[in-house]
């Protein structure tokens, strides 16, 4: 493939004392073109990145954070173990310290609001008017405004004020993740790196002014490697609970052969371990909240129904539950489209790379 030379102009930020500037011109690449094409209504679909979206990043609620802060407003880095395809993984999250209007700083972990905004920005990235991708540098940028985010969230029933959006962007760019696979550190960075912002005066005068942010390297690598999957972004944004949104993404990767006869099986203990979103001390409360989540997925026609197989231990005490989830026809249709699109991507990429340049 031939690539246009990337221009480095405009606003810049500092990374490890090196000037890093967002791109201002497109780089032509088959990988990014394929990432932005969907089977179905363009506005309804986005891409889920299996490893990146499996990392539990947003599991500490605002209420839990308030209880954990010390009298100086600080939070300690938090550790969370999980598994990805039976591989032991661990994430360490260093909180962002956000300056408060009354003075001083307060620490924040990313939580549900920040997750929604990351999803919105990833959706914007699939629009070639707002996405920039450099294959050779494995680098992806997204261009956006505060108004764009607010409009999209409002459209999806997740309204936020401009100040709330701005704070979430600060948390996304200020909190740092360290990802370990089999105890080996493979990734360290903010969720949104190298954010270029309009000034406070520009923000007050014109919230429609553009910002730029660099997406995680794991997202960029997935674009290069064609390892992402199409999923129903519009349906996911309809879901009210954070756990249901997380679980729908998981199903989009793990339940790729969904049909009306073969169920998806999962242990409740695995969902609790990998999501961090059921922080209840009593097992019966975890069961209750998980089944409330399943009922929401039934209501939104992701699954049709479920069955449960209780695993008992001493004195017939329930120690775990295996759930069998049967897909709704709407979800089956989405998986068929996602599989077809994945085959198309592979075919087009191989055809392009094998043709004379």
Sorting pLDDT into bands at 50, 70 and 90, what band is 196?
A: confident
Supply the pLDDT for residue 198: 56
Percent of the chain with pLDDT over 70: 91
The residues near 76 (Cβ < 8 Å, ≥ 6 apart) are 68
Domain residue limits, the chain = 45-227, 242-330
Q: How many Å from the N-terminal Cα to the C-terminal Cα in the chain?
A: 7
Residue 7, pLDDT above cutoff 60: no
CATH topology of domain 242-330: Arc Repressor Mutant, subunit A (1.10.10)
Q: What is the CA radius of gyration of the chain?
A: 21
Burial track 272-283 (b if 16+ CB lie within 10 A, e otherwise): bebbbbbeeeeb
Question: How far, in Å, are 46, 189, 221, 331, 353 from residue 350 at the CA level?
Answer: 23, 32, 18, 29, 5
Task: Give the residue ranges of DSSP H helices in the chain.
Answer: 30-35, 50-54, 62-68, 112-125, 146-155, 162-174, 200-205, 217-225, 233-238, 242-254, 268-275, 283-299, 329-354
Question: How far, in Å, are 24, 187, 196, 253 from residue 212 at the CA level?
Answer: 10, 22, 5, 29
Percent of the chain with pLDDT over 90: 82
pTM as predicted: 0.91
Q: What pLDDT digit, counting tens, does each position of 8-26 carry?
A: 333 333 343 344 677 878 8
């Amino acid at each position: 493939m031939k690539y246009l030379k990337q221009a480095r102009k405009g606003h810049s930020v500092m990374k490890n004392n090196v000037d890093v500037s967002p791109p201002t011109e497109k780089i032509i690449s088959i990988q990014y073109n394929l990432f932005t094409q969907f089977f179905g209504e363009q506005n309804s679909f986005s891409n889920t990145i299996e490893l990146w979206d499996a990392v539990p990043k947003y599991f500490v609620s605002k209420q839990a954070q308030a209880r954990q802060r010390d009298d100086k407003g600080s939070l300690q880095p938090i550790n969370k173990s999980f598994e990805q395809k039976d591989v032991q993984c661990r994430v360490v999250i260093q909180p962002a310290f956000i300056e408060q209007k009354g003075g001083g700083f307060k620490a924040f972990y990313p939580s549900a609001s920040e997750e929604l905004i990351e999803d919105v920005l990833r959706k914007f990235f699939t629009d070639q008017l707002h996405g920039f991708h450099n294959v050779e540098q494995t680098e992806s940028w997204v261009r956006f405004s505060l108004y764009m985010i607010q409009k999209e969230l409002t459209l999806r029933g997740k309204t936020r004020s401009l100040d709330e959006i701005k704070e979430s962007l600060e948390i996304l760019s200020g909190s740092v993740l360290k990802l370990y696979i089999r105890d080996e550190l493979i990734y360290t960075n903010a969720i949104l790196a190298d954010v270029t912002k309009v000034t406070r005066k520009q923000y007050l005068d014109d919230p429609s002014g553009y910002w730029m942010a660099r997406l995680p390297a794991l997202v960029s690598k997935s674009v290069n490697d064609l390892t992402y999957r199409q999923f129903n972004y519009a349906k996911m944004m309809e879901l009210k609970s954070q756990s249901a949104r997380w679980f729908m993404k998981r199903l989009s990767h793990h339940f790729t052969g969904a049909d009306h006869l073969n169920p998806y099986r999962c242990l409740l203990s695995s969902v609790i371990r990998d999501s961090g979103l059921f922080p209840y001390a009593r097992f019966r409360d975890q069961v209750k909240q998980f089944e409330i989540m399943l009922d929401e997925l039934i209501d939104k026609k992701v699954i049709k129904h479920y069955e449960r197989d209780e695993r008992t231990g001493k004195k017939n005490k329930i120690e775990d539950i295996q759930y069998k989830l049967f897909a709704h026809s709407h979800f089956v249709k989405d998986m068929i489209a996602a599989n077809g699109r994945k085959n198309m991507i592979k075919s087009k990429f191989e055809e392009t790379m094998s043709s004379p340049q």
